[in-house]
Amino acid sequence: DEVQRQLRESRDRIKAETHQEITAFAYPNGTADDYNKAAIETLRTLDYKVAFTLTPGPAKLNVVKEHPYQIARVYLGRRDTFETFVLKVMGAPALTDKTKFIT
């Protein structure tokens, strides 16, 4: 009940301040310990469409479609350079040939 209240109230506040539909959620901290089946079901009940974890990404489209409330994301730190950002977003192919993806 407390999780549902917090999710609903934060969504409603953001919606009131931005006048935008709120369909995405990012789990605080984002580790597997930060969400469970009950949290996922609550998000679904409140009409969230997707939720992001801090499981290392990027996530493949078929995995996102199968588990829209457990989307892996690319962690970006405040000290990351643009080149680091590109490598993280591109994933493994960029790590094997950095010059191909960074101009």
Q: Which two tokens stand for residue 94?
A: 């960029």
Q: What percent of the chain has pLDDT over 70?
A: 87
Own/partner pairs, 71-76, CB within 8 angstroms, 24+ separation: 73/26, 73/30
Q: Crossing angle for the helix pair 2-18 and 37-45, nearest 10 degrees?
A: 40
- Judged by average pLDDT, the poorest of 20-24, 71-75, 83-87, 95-99 is 95-99
What is the distance of C-alpha 13 from the center of its chain? 20
Q: Considering the chain, what is the average pLDDT of its residues?
A: 85
Q: Encode pLDDT of 54-67 as tens digits.
A: 888 778 899 999 99
pTM for this prediction:
0.73
How many other C-beta atoms lie within 10 A of the C-beta of residue 58?
Answer: 16
pLDDT for 103 equals 45
- Phi/psi of residue 72, each to 5°? -70, 150
Average pLDDT over residues 30-50: 91
